[in-house]
Amino acid sequence: MVDILHRVGVESSSPEKVYDALTTLEGLSGWWTDDTTGSTETGGVIAFRFPPGGFDMEVVDQRPGEAVTWKVVEGPEEWVGTTVGWQLRQDGEHTIVLFKHQGWREPVEFMHHCSTKWATYLMSLKSLLETGVGAPAPRDVHVAFPD
């Protein structure tokens, strides 16, 4: 079992503001993909769509200002059944975002790609919160092809 792990520190924000960006359609569409629909309630399913395809995430757990956990219920074969987790905390001037995409069965090349791509989306989340402007798809940072 191999995981994708990341961390960013967001300036001039708070765990509550980051939590909003992870748990509302407006927030999610500001950093991950314009085409975000569905239910962000616990037990709901959020549909994230990108030009090449997309993911449906079930909202497994949400603790305001602290943590969010999604489970992938539709999407690329390698993603289905994996979990995406976010942990938030304040550390001085920064809101620390710990990210884990867990449950990959094999460290396939697609996983390498997704790891780099997640990093650019975390930077997009950081930018959204710090400047008001993220880089969600289709205005995302391209790391390879197709992405």
- Runs of H (alpha helix) within the chain: 15-23, 25-31, 109-131
Distance between CA atoms of residues 86 and 62, nearest Å: 9
* Residue 59 in the binding site for a copy of itself (CB under 8 A): no
SS3 9: strand
Q: At what angle do helices 15-23 and 109-131 cross, to 10 degrees?
A: 120
Q: Report the residue number, 22 or 122, with the smaller CB distance to a copy of itself.
A: 122
Shortest separation between residue 72's beta carbon and a copy of itself, angstroms: 18
Shortest separation between residue 12's beta carbon and a copy of itself, angstroms: 13
Q: Report the residue number, 24 or 116, with the smaller CB distance to a copy of itself.
A: 116
Distance between CA atoms of residues 126 and 135, nearest Å: 10
Binding mask 109-138 for a copy of itself (x = CB under 8 A): x-xxx-xx--xx-xx--x------------
Binding mask 66-105 for a copy of itself (x = CB under 8 A): ---------------------------xx-x-xxx-----
- The single residue listed with the structure tokens 């994996």 is 82
List binders of a copy of itself among 14-43 (CB under 8 A): none
Shortest separation between residue 37's beta carbon and a copy of itself, angstroms: 28
**C-alpha angle 111/87/56, rounded to 5°?**
50
Please state the separation of Cα 120 from the chain's center in Å: 10
Residues within the interface to a copy of itself (CB under 8 A): 2-9, 93-94, 96, 98-100, 107, 109, 111-113, 115-116, 119-120, 122-123, 126, 141, 143-145
